[in-house]
Amino acid sequence: MRTFTGLHKRIGLRGMAAVELALLLPLLFMILFGIIEFGVVIYDLQIITNASRNAVRSGIVASTPREPVATFEAVATGICDNLISFHAASCSVSQTGYSSTATSGTTLTVTVSYPYSFLILPVFASLVPASLAMASSTSMLYE
């Protein structure tokens, strides 16, 4: 049985470390970029949640006549356009329960949707979809 001694032993260990690095580096990059990518997804979900909250709030404030639909849709799209991470697509805003003569106590619901497109993760893992449909809905009573 032959064993490595001296210089041969150091070269053998160095080669083994290079092989281990080559095998583990793609996995480590996938984990690193997965953490970053899902952090961006959570950030964008928080943005569209705040956009729906601000939009419904601007729609329910006490005024006569009530603010038009375009006003609170502009609030939501303005927040999305300014704060969403990569602007692959724009937010879509829908509402239910709007009335220009709504009485106090009726409900207004605003839903903001955004199709998030993954940037790096689908390159490493084929199980990750290319895009993710996100939506946030907020309901409040008219003042």
pLDDT digits (tens, 9 = 90+) for 10-41: 556 667 878 888 899 988 988 898 898 889 99
User: CA 94, CA 76: separation in Å to the nearest integer?
Assistant: 10
User: CA 35, CA 30: separation in Å to the nearest integer?
Assistant: 9
User: pTM here?
Assistant: 0.77
Q: What's the confidence (pLDDT) of residue 2?
A: 55
User: CA 15, CA 10: separation in Å to the nearest integer?
Assistant: 9
Q: What is the pLDDT of residues 83-136, one digit of tens each?
A: 887 766 788 999 998 888 888 889 999 999 999 888 777 766 777 788 889 999
Contact 78/139 with Cβ under 8 angstroms?
no
